[in-house]
Amino acid sequence: MKFDYKAEDLIIKPYKSESPVYVRKQKGRYQRIRQLTGFVFVMVFILLPWISYQGNQAVLFDIGKQQFHIFSETFFPQDFTLLAGLLIVSCYLLFFVTTWLGRIWCGYVCPQTVWTFSFIWVEEWLEGSRNQRIKRDTQPKTLDNIVRKSAKHIVWGLMSFLTATTFMSYFLPTHELYLDLIALNWTGLTTFWVLFFAICTYGNAGWLREKMCIYMCPYSRFQSAMFDKNTLLIAYDKVRGENRGRRKRKDNPKELGLGDCVDCNLCVEVCPVGIDIRNGLQYECINCGACADACDQTMTQFNYAKGLISYTSENALLGKKAKLLRPKIIGYGILSILAMIFMAYTIQVRVPIEFSVLRDRGTLFQVDFDDNVTNSYLLKVTNKSQLDRHFNVSVLNSNVSLSADKNILIKAGEIASVPVHLTMTPDEIKERVSEVSLQVSVSDMSDVKAVTKTKFFSN
């Protein structure tokens, strides 16, 4: 029997290989804004770990000590609910901005976009323009090609290494991290994580690029659920552009039956995700505005009005009035503001003390010769502030006397174990088990105190 297919046709390929996207360099107003936002983002990312606040690193996520320092605040694992609150605020803000401005985050601030454009800039610098790069990849390998490509990968490697080291300086003290790097004294764990993040950066920005946005980013998949007909997006004005077709500058398009699109293909060549925006709104589009800049450039050359591709909305394209205030955007806006107020309030009223009471496991209670009953406890007091402080322990029940080191010095961010003994005389004992309230306060902050209740056993 003769089969009309080959053996390799039977192999199921999980991933369809795609031709690489060669991005053409584009100038224009949106690209200037994108470069500026990218620059500000990178500068903040690099400089933030170097900033000191009250003698400490201002932003440090100290995983080893389980403490997150953000300027005047220190967060502990017990503050996990605040992290949940922060995620809720970020989600509402993202919903609000996406409904209003579309995928502006992706195009202008997303680290994947910022780093990908930086890597493309290096590629262009060392390998030449888009056409030169295509030529290099299709021609036989020459010495010049090998040298330039090797140089590109070395620069990408250095950028990835610096990115990873900077990222690690959010988790380890910055000065020590760099001093240890100079002395080649990194621990195995530090070396592992820096190499891991460097490989991720190199792979994402150098090789995967738009595939991260298209196949891996969940945001690109669900962002359309937030869009409505008034959301700002990059779109091609089909009514004005079609019929597309090539022509000379002096030609009259109306006489030729053509629209304003001269089919120069520039909008496709500058697109970092390799799509043709003239095919309509696509989830791959990151709203970077490069195609709008490219098209404006072509429109200017042909003396046509700019804006054939522009930031607009579906309603505006249909000639309807675009509405800014609409129920969805107002709802997300109100929720964002409420969530931010709640977060700010929660952080503001947070006390820099955390304490828990553990009963003595050895004996339930002790009775002395005068029939006085004593219960013993161990207090675990955490100083959640960034300064060494004195703490006072007291009991709020007037019928109970306390024996403990009442003024305890606890270093910033540390936990102290304080033995406490509570005693009741026979006259004061009314019940077999009574409730007592212990209080810990800060010596130099009269209004800061924390109270917890525990049981007192008398027989």
**Under the rule (CB under 6 A), what is the footprint of ligand SF4?**
234, 236, 241, 244, 261-267, 270-273, 275, 277-278, 285-291, 294-295, 298, 308-309
Q: How far is the CB of 124 from ligand SF4 (least distance, A)?
A: 16
Q: How far is the CB of 222 from ligand SF4 (least distance, A)?
A: 18
Q: Give the residue with the Cβ less far from ligand SF4, 306 or 328.
A: 306
Q: How far is the CB of 160 from ligand SF4 (least distance, A)?
A: 24
Q: Where do runs of H (alpha helix) occur along 72-185?
A: 80-101, 104-108, 111-127, 130-138, 143-168, 174-182
> Is residue 454 within a helix (H) or strand (E), and if so which, with residue range?
strand 445-457
Q: How far is the CB of 295 from ligand SF4 (least distance, A)?
A: 3
Tokens of 385: 């502030």
Strand partners, 451: 439
> Is residue 420 within a helix (H) or strand (E), and if so which, with residue range?
strand 415-424
Rounded CA separation 202/158 (Å): 9
How distant is the alpha carbon of residue 191 from its chain centre? Answer: 23
Rounded CA separation 378/206 (Å): 56
Nearest to 236 by CA among 265, 266, 279: 279
Q: How far is the CB of 197 from ligand SF4 (least distance, A)?
A: 26
Rounded CA separation 95/102 (Å): 9
According to DSSP, residue 18 is labeled -
Rounded CA separation 186/179 (Å): 9
Q: Give the residue with the Cβ less far from ligand SF4, 108 or 193.
A: 108
> Is residue 390 within a helix (H) or strand (E), and if so which, with residue range?
strand 389-395
Q: How far is the CB of 439 from ligand SF4 (least distance, A)?
A: 59
Q: How far is the CB of 21 from ligand SF4 (least distance, A)?
A: 10
Rounded CA separation 393/387 (Å): 19
Give the phi and the psi of residue 15 in degrees, each rounded to 5.
Answer: -135, 125
Q: Give the residue with the Cβ less far from ligand SF4, 285 or 408.
A: 285
Q: Give the residue with the Cβ less far from ligand SF4, 168 or 285.
A: 285
